[in-house]
Amino acid sequence: MTGARLVILAALALLVLFGWPVAVAIGAGAVVVALAAGRRTVRELRGAWWLVTVQRPGLLAGPHPSLVSPVP
């Protein structure tokens, strides 16, 4: 077995061995942050989304065409 193959196999073994624990740690951290943010933050974000996308859709589309000066 050549040295390059051995290095690749060792790297794959490390990825397999430590990939899941790293993914679990990141996921657990995300859950902790979400729980710490609380329901109030979620309600505020939902309210901001509702305001921008439903009640004032023009905010996403840019200025009204009548407000843009024509190109000569």
Closest CA to 12 of 64, 24, 71, 4: 4
> Could you tell me the pLDDT band of residue 63, with boundaries at 50, 70 and 90?
low
Q: Residue 9 has what pLDDT? A: 76
Residues 6+ apart with CB under 8 A from 53: 60
Q: Residue 33 has what pLDDT? A: 74
Provide the residue type at 62 as one letter: G
Distance CA(72)–CA(63), nearest Å, equals: 19
For residue 24, give both structure tokens: 């679990």
Alpha helical stretches, state H, the chain = 3-50, 58-61
pLDDT tens per residue across span 41-58: 767 766 666 655 565 555
Q: What is the largest CA-CA distance in the chain?
A: 71
List the domain boundaries for the chain. 22-57
